[in-house]
Amino acid sequence: MDLATAAALGKFIGAGLAAIGSGAAAIGVGNVAGNFLAGALRNPSAAGSQTATLFIGLAFAEALGIFSFLVALLLMFAV
C-alpha cells in the first residue's frame, strides 16, 4: 500500500471515527430531553417556564455533535 492510498484510507476511517461523536451527542441530547420530561411530569406547573433552559441545554449538547460532524465533513471533502 503506497502513501496516497494509505492517506485516502485514513481519511475515510477518520471520518467514520468522527461520526461516533454524533452518536455520543445523540446520547447527550436524549439525556437532556429525558431528564426534562421526567422533571416536567413530576411538576408540570413549573415545566412551562423551563422550556428556554431545555432548549439551551439541547443546543449545547448538540453543538458538540455538530463539531464532530464538521470534522467528518472536513476529512471527507476538504483534506
Partner 1 sequence: MKRKTDVAGEAQSEGGLAFHPLDQFQVQPLFGHGPIEWYTITNVTLWLALAAVAIIFVFVVGSSARKMIPTRLQSVGEVAYSFVHNMVEDVAGHDGAKYFPLIMTLFVFILFANMLGLLPGSFTPTTHIAVTAVLGFGVFLFVTLLGLYKHGLHFLGLFWMSDAPLVLRPIIAVIEVISYFVRPVSHSIRLAGNIMAGHAVMKVFAAFAPMILISGIGVLVTPVSILAITAIYALEVLVAFIQAYVFTILTCVYLKDALHPGH
How far apart are alpha carbons 54 and 28 in whole angstroms?
12
Cβ of residue 48: shortest distance to partner 1, in angstroms? 11
SS (H, E, C) 14-68: HHHHHHHHHHHHHHHHHHHHHHHHHHHHHCHHHHHHHHHHHHHHHHHHHHHHHHH
Contact region with partner 1 (CB under 8 A), list: 13-21, 25-33, 39-47, 56-64: 56-64
- The DSSP symbol for 1 reads -
Cβ of residue 49: shortest distance to partner 1, in angstroms? 8
By beta-carbon proximity to partner 1, the closer residue of 17 and 73 is 73
- State yes or no: residue 52 binds partner 1 (CB under 8 A): yes
The residue to which cell 476538504 is assigned:
78
By beta-carbon proximity to partner 1, the closer residue of 11 and 39 is 11
- State yes or no: residue 69 binds partner 1 (CB under 8 A): yes
